[in-house]
Structure 1
Amino acid sequence: MDQHWTIQRVPAADGAEIVLHSTGAGPGLVVVHGGGVTIEMYRRTARRLADRFTVHLYNRRGRADAAARAEPYDGEQDIDDLAALLAHTGAGNVIGHSGGGFIALRAAARRLPIARLALYDAAVQVDGIGSYRWLPAARQAADAGDIARAMAIVGAGVHTESASSRLPLALRIAMCKLFLRTPIGRTMGELLPTTLDETALIHRFDGPPGQWAGVQAEVLLASGADGPPYWPPTNEALAAVMPHARTLVVPRANHDALNRAPKHLIDALAEFFLSPVSSEPTHP
């Protein structure tokens, strides 16, 4: 049976509309999607949580049915949009994935009314863990219109655990050209300049974990056991400074596990969000 979705148009702080896709019943849960993709990658996750939560998906600016993104990109609009959605839905639960995890963490640091925050492979750089040395080369290729080359550079830089990251660049470019012929590949290719802007912002926030110590929400810092090796130590560093945080390494999971929504990950997220909040977040 098809999942029932409701569509709402929520006013943003700048007068634009945020298109909210919601399904399920129960406590509200807002998903902040990763870079390079749209909410279509998260509908399976929403369906598998919908028996316990009202799950809210929305495309971040510059994607699909979302309004245009302000330039130059500084992430502030993303935080404002999340604030508008939390106010509209009354949800206190947030999931952030990859680049969306960075946005969600910044929002929690601003003391938005987030009671529980689950981050999966959040793209947060701490003390240089996880190198971004590949970013200038990827930007140069993208600016030159060579999206396959840029995508090959990004893929090897992000997915250091993958055997394909150690293949010769020419072979990786050929693989990316094939990938760009697929629907998800075309989407990721079209959004690659946006993704690189977000990556540059994440890199500018590199620094000691103490900059995130003010996050008062209950935080689950999750990563995949089969994913890039830099996320577990990053999460441990963050958990050491946040007053209500813990880490979780998910077995048999890599970076896209949140999209694939295996039962053991969905159950772990549900358990986290349904557990009692030990401390109410403080707000300005």
Structure 2
Amino acid sequence: MDKNTLSHDGTYLAYESAGRGPVVVLVSGAMSTGATVAPLAAPLSERFRVVVYDRRGRGASTDAGPYAVEREVEDLAAVIEAVGGGASLYGISSGGALALRAAASGLPVRHVAVYETPYAMSEEELAARARYTENLTRALAEGRRGDAVELFLRLTGLGEATIQGARQSPMWAGMESIAPSLAYDDAVMGDGGVPRELLAEIRVPVLSIAGDASPGWMREAARAIAESVPRGTYRTLEGQTHMVEPDVLAPVLADFFAR
């Protein structure tokens, strides 16, 4: 990240941009930095000025704390102001929930596209999210960052063998370093259910996307988002999972942001 801006509470936010044209800001999800969504910037930068930033508490960004979801909305406001004062947003996973909250708050946003924002679609899933929040809060309060990462990986559906393999991998130290930010994504997701009243306040066009090879509940959640906003569109991408291919996603986003 070669640039930075200052958020309202004194947090330094690292960002970089590429391309020319209308601004598009990419918002990463849990356990990720701006580098995670950077591969999407290259194809989009042929038509847009694409901005990638590290959310607070990860990558090259700082974290003035204490945390509140409103601070992350202010972070997005600071990034948008730094790059011209208006933007379209793309958020993946829980980053989509943040992008939707930002649009509902009245930020100068033109379009919002989200990919597989993982809202719970059943009472069983809501109960699992509540248990996750409780266990995550305890693990982080006790300084058990590795356990916090394990809790998140289980929530995403990874098996125990895969999780234990990840613990032995070179990437584990980096995952533990940003483990406190798991609480931020958990807060952004609210109680885990679709926030229909909040979504109804969004006045800009919203494109909600899912991969047709992802679990059915993710497609249901994506459809529910599109149905809950006044100007929503739902779309699936053939053969795609939660690890969506940038070259498949980029043309869809480009067509939407160009409207």
User: TM-score interval w.r.t. the shorter chain?
Assistant: 0.7 to 0.9
Amino acid at match of 2:204: A
Report the equivalent of 1:104.
Answer: 99
Report the equivalent of 2:253.
Answer: 269
- When residues 124 and 108 of structure 1 are mapped into structure 2, their CA distance, relative to the original with a 3 A threshold, is farther
Amino acid at match of 2:221: T
The number of residue pairs the alignment matches comes to 255
Deviation at 1:216, TM superposition (A): 0.7
- Where do 1:54-133 residues align within 5 Å? 54-71=49-66, 73-90=67-84, 91-125=86-120, 128=123, 130-131=125-126, 132-133=129-130
Deviation at 1:133, TM superposition (A): 4.6
- When residues 227 and 187 of structure 1 are mapped into structure 2, their CA distance, relative to the original with a 3 A threshold, is farther
1:217 equivalent in alignment to 2:204: yes
Percent identity of equivalent pairs: 25
Deviation at 1:14, TM superposition (A): 2.6
- 1:92-124 superposed Cα distances (whole Å, 9 cap, x missing partner): 211111121111111111111111111111244
- Where do 1:165-180 residues align within 5 Å? 165=159, 172=160, 174-180=161-167
- When residues 271 and 210 of structure 1 are mapped into structure 2, their CA distance, relative to the original with a 3 A threshold, is same
The unaligned stretches of length 5 or more in structure 1 are: 1-5, 166-171, 276-284
Higher Cα Rg: structure 1 or 2?
1
Q: TM-score, normalised by structure 1?
A: 0.79
- When residues 74 and 205 of structure 1 are mapped into structure 2, their CA distance, relative to the original with a 3 A threshold, is farther
- Structure 2 distance, partners of 1:235, 1:181, is 34
1:247 equivalent in alignment to 2:234: yes
Amino acid at match of 1:33: S
Contact kept? 2:15, 2:52, Cα under 8 Å: yes
Q: TM-score, normalised by structure 2?
A: 0.86
Contact kept? 2:119, 2:194, Cα under 8 Å: no
- Structure 1 distance, partners of 2:11, 2:63, is 9
- Structure 1 distance, partners of 2:20, 2:172, is 33
Deviation at 1:148, TM superposition (A): 4.9
- When residues 134 and 224 of structure 1 are mapped into structure 2, their CA distance, relative to the original with a 3 A threshold, is farther
- Structure 2 distance, partners of 1:63, 1:177, is 23
Deviation at 1:205, TM superposition (A): 6.2
The SS at the match of 2:17 is: strand
Deviation at 1:221, TM superposition (A): 0.5
Report the equivalent of 1:196.
Answer: 183
- Structure 1 distance, partners of 2:173, 2:208, is 30
The unaligned stretches of length 5 or more in structure 2 are: none
- Structure 2 distance, partners of 1:256, 1:143, is 30
